[in-house]
Structure 1
Amino acid sequence: MKLLQITASPVWRGHEQKIIYLYEAYRDNNTFEDQYIVCAKNTPIYDVATEKGMQVIGFDIKSEYDFKFAKQLAKIVKEKDIDVVLMHNSTAHTLAVLSHKFYKMSAPLVLCRTLIRRVDTNALRKWKYNYKGIKKILCVSQAVVDVLKFAVKDHSKLSIIGSVTDLSKFKKQAPNGMLHEQFNIPKDYKLIGNIAAFTGFKDHYTWVDTVELLVKRQTVKAKYILVGIGELEEEIKHYVTDKKLNDHIIFAGFRKDIPELLPEFDLFMFTSNNEPTGGVLLESYACKVPIVAANAGGIPEVIVDKKTGLLAEVGNPIDFADKVELLINDERLQKELIENGYQHLKDNFTKDVISQKFYEELKTVANQYER
C-alpha cells in the first residue's frame, strides 16, 4: 500500500508535526510500500521533511482553487500508484477534492481534522465535507466530531484518532536551572509556564488575570513564563503592563528548544478555551510537569481531572488560581498526577499508538475502494 499526505499549511504547529511523526513511524516500521508528503515550497514542513530525507514533493500554491495544481495532483497520484490520500488542512482538502472530482484522481480521500470550528457556514464548505470521494474524516477528539456533525451528513465517516507526541523527543524529565539562569531568576522561585501561540482561543487574558490573583495572594513564590509568538502578543504585553505585572511575567518569545525548556516548569498552566486536544499537554506529560488546564473542547479527553491533572473552569481566573495554589504546594499530589499522566500518555498518545490507529483506518479505506 502506498500513502500520500498533503498539506498547504504555511506554518509549523502540532498538525504539521503530526505529518512528520506519521511519516517517521511508517518508515521505521516499514508499514507502507512507499509514502510521500506533498506540501507548499518555502514552508516549515517542506524544510523539515527535506532535511530529514523524506520523499517530499513541493509545489507553488496560488490559491485554494488552483485547478492547474489539482490536475498535477491527479497526475502525481497516478504516477506514484498511490492507494490512499490523507489531507491535512483546508486548502489541501479543497485541492484534493477538485483533483478527485474534475481530474479523476485514482485514490480515495481521507481527511484529518484537528479544529473545533463550524464548517456548515456556506454551501461550498458543506459540499466539500460531504464529497463522496472522502471515505473517512479522522478527528483528534470527540469535541471535533461534535462540531462536524452539523455539516457532515454521514456520521459514520467520522472517527476519533487522538493526538500524538513522540516520547523519544522528550527525554529530559527534570530541571537543570537553565531558565533560572537565562532570565536571572532566583533559584527559590517556582516557574509556572505556558507554551502557546498568541491567538484568541488560547485565552492569555485569563492566564494573566490568574497571575494577578496569585501575586496578590502571595501564597506562591513564582515567576510566570509565556512562550510563543502571535498576532495578539503586543496586545497581551500591554495588558500585562496595565496590570503592573512586568516584574512577574516573562515573555520568552519563539523557542525551538521546547524539549529542553518544558521540564524547567514546576507547573504548566493552560487556559485555552477551545482546544481540540492540546498537544503541548501531552508534551508536559512526557516531561513530567504537573498540569492545570481549562475544562474546554477536547482537553478533558487528554486530562483526566484529579487523576492526570487538574481541570479549571473556562475563563475563570479564580478557579485557575485556586487549582494552581493547590497543586504547586502539594508535592504528593504532583507526584501522583505526574505518574498517572505519563502512563496515560504511553497508553494512548504515543507515535506508535496513533500511527497504528491511522494505519488501520487508511488500510480499511484503501481496501474497500473500487478504482
Structure 2
Amino acid sequence: MKVLHLSSEASWRGGEQQIAYLITELQKLNVDVMVACKKGSPFEDFCIQEHIPYKAINFSHQYAPGTALKIKNICNEFQADILHMHSSKSHGAGVIATLLGAKANLVLSRRVDFPVKQGKLSQFKYNFDGIKRIICVSDAIKDITARGIKDSSKLVTVHSGIDIDKFHPESVNKSILHTQFNIPTDKIIIGNTSALAPHKDYFTFINTADILLKSNKNLHFCIIGKGKLKGEIENYIQKKQLTENFTLTGFINNIPDVLPALDLFLMTSETEGLGTSILDAFASKVPVVATAAGGIPEMVIHKKTGMIAPIKDVETLAKNVKEVFADLNLQKDIVSGAFKHLHSFSKEQTALKTLEIYKQILSEKAIKS
C-alpha cells in the first residue's frame, strides 16, 4: 500500500505531531509513505531527519493550480493508493489535484471544533465525491462535522495518540520547575502546556487561579508554551495583580521531563478537537481538571480519569481543583484511571485504526471494479 500525506502548514503544532506519529507508525506496519510538505517548514526538517521520502512545495493557497498540479504529479509518479489530506489548505489542494488527474483515493483528517462552512467552495470540497473517508479526531468533531456532510457514512472517529513510551514520571526530577524558574519549593504548581492561542482560553485559566488564590496562597501557576496572545495574557495577569503567582515559561521541548513536576494539570479550552496535552498529563500521572470542550470528555471522565466542568465555568473549575487537592483517594483514583484509559490513545492505536480505514477503502474499490 502506498500513501501520500499532505502537510501544508508552515509551523509545527499538534496536527503536525500527529502526522509525524502516523507516518512513522505506518512505516512500521509496512506501508510505503511519501510526504508533500511546505517548503522550508519544520515538517520538511522532520522528513530529512527521519529519512522519510518527501517533496517540498509552496502550498501558497489551497486552490492554487500550481500547487495542485505538483501534488497530482507527485501522487501519480508515486502511484499512491491513498492521498491523505491533513488540514484545510491541503484539503483544497488535494481536491483540485484530483480534478487535474491525481488518481488516488482521498482521505481527509478533521481536527477542528467548528462546523463546516456553508459557502459554496467549502460545501464543494467537503462533499467532493473523491473523498472516501473523513477521519475525525473525536466523536465530538464527528458530530459537528456531520452537519455539513451529505453522506455521513464517510465520517469515522480515530482518536489522536501520543508516544506513551516517552514518559517516565517515576524517574524525573519533580523539582525541575521550582529550580529552573525560581519558584519557591513549598509552592503547589498548577499548569497547562497549550499554545497561547485564543481557543485555549487562558483568561479562564487566570480567572480560575484568581478564585483559588483567595483561599490558598500556596499555589503557583505555570503557563508552558508560546503564542501570539502572550502580551495580552501577561497584561491580564498584571491587571488581576497575580504577577508573583504566575510563571510564563515560554516553549519547552522536554515536556516528558517537565509535566510530572506539576501537581495538577488545568485545561480551560473553549474549543478543542481532542486536546492531546491532556493525554501527556495522563502519561505523566498528573491529575487533570478540564473544561468539556470538543473531544475532552472522551478522555476526561468525571471522577474516573479527571474532573470536568462546563466551558468558562470558573467556579466549577476552582471547586474541582479544590476537591482533587482535598481528597487524596480521589486524586489517586483519577490518576490511576487516566493511565489505564490512556492506552486507547497511543500513537500505535491511531496508526492501526487508520490503516484499517485505508484497507476498507481499497477493498470497497476492488469490489466496485
TM-score range, shorter chain: over 0.9
Q: State whether residues 198 and 204 of structure 1, in contact with CA within 8 Å, keep that contact through their aligned partners in structure 2.
A: yes
Conserved? CA contact 2:160–2:347, under 8 Å: no
2:356 corresponds to 1:360: yes
The one-letter code sitting in structure 2 at the alignment partner of 1:69 is: T
Given candidates 287, 290, 295, the residue that maps to 1:290 is: 287
Corresponding residue for residue 247 of structure 2: 250
**What is the aligned-residue identity percentage?**
34
Match of 1:122 in 2: 119
Q: How far, CA to CA, are the matches of 2:156 and 2:72 in structure 1?
A: 26
- Deviating above 3 A after TM superposition, structure 1's stretches of 4 or more consecutive aligned residues are 172-175
Name the structure 1 match of 2:24: 24
What is the identity, as a one-letter code, of the residue corresponding to 2:205?
W
Q: Which runs of 5+ in 1 are unaligned?
A: none
CA deviations on 1:276-325 (whole Å, 9 max, x unpaired) are 11000011111111000002221101111110000012111111111111
Aligned to 1:5: 5
Which is further off, 83-92 or 322-331? 322-331
Structure 2 residue corresponding to 1:351, chosen from 347, 350, 361: 347
CA–CA separation in structure 1 for the residues paired with 2:244 and 2:144: 41
What residue in structure 1 maps to residue 326 of structure 2?
Answer: 329
Correspondence 1:107 to 2:91: no
Partner of 1:196: 194
TM-score, scaled relative to structure 2:
0.96
State the shift of 1:110 in Å: 0.3
User: What's the C-alpha RMSD, in Å, of the aligned pairs?
Assistant: 1.4
List alignment gaps of at least 5 residues for structure 2. none
**Amino acid across the alignment from 1:302:** M
3-state SS in 1 of match to 2:244: coil
Give the SS at the match of 1:5: strand
8 Å Cα contact 2:86-2:110 kept in structure 1: yes
TM-score by length of 1: 0.95
Deviations 1:138-192 (A, max 9, x none): 0011211122122110000101111211112223345431111011122221110
Q: Answer yes or no: is the 8 Å Cα contact 1:73–1:96 preserved in 2.
A: yes
8 Å CA contact 2:169–2:285 kept in 1: the answer is no
Preserved CA contact (<8 Å) 1:210 1:317: yes
With 80-89 and 56-65 compared, the bigger mean Cα shift is at 56-65
Whole-Å Cα distance in 2 between the matches of residues 50 and 169 of structure 1? 22
| Residues 1-371 of structure 1 aligned to structure 2 (within 5 Å) | 1-30=1-30, 32=31, 34-101=32-99, 103-173=100-170, 174-218=172-216, 221-346=218-343, 348-369=344-365
Superimposed CA distance per residue, residues 208-265 of structure 1 (whole angstroms, 9 cap, x where no aligned partner): 01111111112x6221000112222111110100110000011111111111111110
Q: 1:195 Cα shift? A: 1.2
- 2:109 and 2:60 map into 1 onto residues whose CA distance is 22
Whether the aligned pair in 1 keeps the contact of 2:22 and 2:351 (CA below 8 Å) is yes
- Paired with 1:17 and 1:279, the residues of 2 have a C-alpha distance of 10
- Which shows bigger deviation, 240-249 or 358-367? 358-367
What amino acid is aligned across from residue 353 of structure 1 in structure 2? Q
Shift of 1:343: 0.8
Structure 2 counterpart of 1:20, one-letter code: A
Give the 3-state SS of the residue equivalent to 1:39 in structure 2. strand
